[in-house]
């Protein structure tokens, strides 16, 4: 029987995402100058204020105020009428040294014995629903806002756009659990003030349908067949959306964990990513389970899979690995047998996850908006400036957990030709 499924996304100007981006910029700057840094940085943003808090163990010092302001400026909060502006907002830091009680469980004489930075369970998910093995509703929700952001930054059309925005996409699935059509699209975008509220709503809706949607279809031809005149659109459904960003709603690091992962598909262990170095398995093991899930589906083990791993704080070996293929396995094994083979192919001790996915690079700022999963692996050169004025360029490999570099190993382990 057909059913509906919905996922949402938020723009880089959403207050929670502003907080995530600041936290991850701090992580990157610490790792750029001291790759062994241990970091857990939280950010709060509100009207005219940024509050930084957390624990750090590092051999470097960074100018957190300058880094925060730079992030805010790049997002687009550069006008005083936004009531949150890069140059004028207050930045308060309450970052202090990491607890030695935690650190003793992580650092060990042998690096390979490195313990998990916390207890918990982490999930990775993949399906063959899209070319990059992500749920389609979330993919479309991200695409809509990335394109809206591109329009805003180009400054040629929809010149009234402000940084804060949200999207939501509802798909109808058929009896075969495959998407058949787009049922509903919701777009809420912050905008400049208009004298006539009714004219404002009509203008924004017209521009979304005449400018945004055609650009989305043109840039993503694989989804063209899902767009038609029967789609229900809700464009700024509450009406006026002038007050937004951190002035309209306080933002906190780690409050968009479903946007960051799979849009509600699969499962989530509850731990956020941004602001944490890779010794925190909330982050590194979530990336590692995504890496496993994607390579399993790409290798032909199954069409859809959820992978769970769990840890005790200070202990290197995970409590166990769980696999659920939702009955889509293409190999003659049950899910428990698949999990055992997965354990033999992928070493899930924290140190080996860090090494396999190269997680001690300053690679995290690019993850902090529009999802950590389903992104394109790439190599970039990033520039960093230290608190004492030194500069350095670092070649960084992004989204390493999205690489299909273990497909051959998986096929061999499962005897798939």
Interval 173-184: pLDDT, tens: 999 999 999 999
Kindly compute the dihedral angle of the four CA atoms of residues 194, 197, 201, 207, in this order, to the nearest 10 degrees: -20
Question: 280: annotated binding-site residue?
Answer: yes
Distances (CA, A) of 351 to 90, 372, 413: 38, 21, 23
Is 98 marked within a binding site?
A: yes
210 is in an annotated binding site: no
Per-residue pLDDT at 98: 75
Residue 272 assigned as binding residue? yes
Residue 336: phi and psi, rounded to 5, are -65, -40
Classified as helix, coil or strand, 179 is strand
17 labeled binding residue: no
What's the predicted TM-score (pTM) here? 0.96
Is 384 annotated to bind a ligand? Reply is: no
Task: List Cα–Cα distances, 146 to 10, 104, 213, 240, in angstroms.
Answer: 9, 42, 12, 22
Question: Tens digits of per-residue pLDDT, 354-391?
Answer: 999 999 999 999 999 999 999 999 999 999 999 888 99
pLDDT given at position 1: 83
| 378 in a labelled binding site | no
Q: What's the pLDDT tens digit per position in 53-94?
A: 999 999 999 999 999 999 999 999 999 999 999 999 999 999
- Helix/strand/coil for 89: coil
- Tell me if 14 is assigned to a ligand binding site: yes
Strand partners, 232: 184
Q: Is 147 annotated as a binding residue?
A: no
C-alpha distances (whole Å) from 285 to each of 112, 126, 259, 268, 273 are 15, 15, 18, 12, 10
Residue 4 CA neighbour count, 13 Å, CB half: 8
Q: Domains of the chain by range and CATH?
A: 3-11+135-246 (3.30.300.10), 15-99 (3.30.300.10), 120-128+255-413 (3.30.300.10)
Residue 240 assigned ligand-binding role: yes
Query: Is-contact 201 236, C-beta < 8 A?
Result: yes
pLDDT values of the chain reduced to their tens digit, one per residue, 417 residues: 899 999 999 999 999 999 999 999 999 999 999 999 999 999 999 999 999 999 999 999 999 999 999 999 999 999 999 999 999 999 999 999 876 655 555 666 677 778 888 899 999 999 999 999 999 999 999 999 999 999 999 999 999 999 999 999 999 999 999 999 999 999 999 999 998 989 999 999 999 999 999 999 999 999 999 999 999 999 999 999 999 999 999 999 999 999 999 999 999 999 999 999 999 999 999 999 999 999 999 999 999 999 999 999 989 999 999 999 999 999 999 999 999 999 999 999 999 999 999 999 999 999 999 999 999 999 999 999 998 889 999 999 999 999 999 999 999 999 998
Q: Is 16 annotated as a binding residue?
A: yes
Given this model, what pLDDT does residue 22 score? Answer: 98
- The reply to whether 276 sits in an annotated binding site is yes
pLDDT at 417: 85
CA-to-CA dists, residue 49 to 80, 130, 191, angstroms: 13, 40, 21
């Amino acid at each position: 029987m057909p059913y509906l499924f919905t996922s949402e996304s938020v723009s880089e100007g959403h207050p929670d995402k502003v907080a995530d981006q600041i936290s991850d910029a701090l992580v990157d700057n610490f790792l750029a100058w001291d790759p062994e840094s241990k970091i857990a940085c939280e950010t709060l943003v509100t009207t005219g204020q940024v509050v930084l808090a957390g624990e750090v163990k590092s051999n470097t010092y960074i100018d957190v105020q300058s880094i925060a302001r730079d992030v805010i400026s790049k997002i687009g909060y550069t006008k005083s009428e936004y009531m949150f502006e890069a140059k004028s907002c207050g930045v308060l830091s309450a970052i202090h040294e990491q607890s030695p009680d935690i650190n003793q469980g992580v650092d060990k004489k042998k690096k390979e014995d490195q313990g998990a930075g916390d207890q918990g369970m982490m999930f990775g998910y993949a399906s063959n629903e899209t070319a990059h093995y992500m749920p389609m509703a979330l993919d479309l929700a991200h695409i809509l806002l990335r394109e809206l952001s591109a329009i805003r930054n180009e400054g040629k059309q929809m010149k009234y756009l402000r940084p804060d925005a949200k999207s939501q996409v509802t798909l109808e699935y058929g009896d075969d659990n495959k998407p058949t059509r787009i049922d509903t699209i919701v777009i809420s975008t912050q905008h400049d003030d208009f004298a006539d509220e009714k004219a404002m709503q009509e203008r924004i809706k017209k521009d979304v349908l005449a400018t945004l949607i055609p650009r989305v279809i043109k840039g993503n031809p694989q989804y063209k067949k899902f767009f038609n005149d029967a789609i229900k659109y809700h464009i700024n459904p509450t009406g006026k959306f002038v007050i937004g960003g951190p002035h309209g709603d306080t933002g906190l690091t780690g409050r968009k964990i479903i946007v960051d992962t799979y849009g509600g598909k699969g499962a989530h262990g509850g731990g956020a990513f941004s602001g944490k170095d890779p010794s925190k398995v909330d982050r590194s093991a979530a990336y590692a389970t995504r890496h496993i899930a994607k390579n399993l589906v790409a290798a032909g083990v199954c069409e859809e899979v959820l992978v769970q791993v769990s840890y005790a704080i200070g202990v290197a070996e995970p409590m166990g690995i769980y696999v659920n293929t939702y009955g889509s396995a293409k190999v003659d094994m049950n899910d428990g047998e698949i999990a055992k083979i997965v354990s033999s192919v992928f070493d899930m001790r924290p140190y080996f996850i860090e090494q396999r996915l190269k997680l001690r690079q300053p690679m995290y700022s690019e993850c902090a908006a529009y999802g950590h999963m389903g992104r394109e692996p790439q190599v970039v050169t990033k520039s960093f400036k230290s608190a004492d004025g030194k500069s350095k360029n670092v070649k960084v490999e992004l989204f390493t957990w999205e690489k299909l570099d273990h497909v051959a190993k998986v096929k061999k382990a499962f005897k798939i030709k």
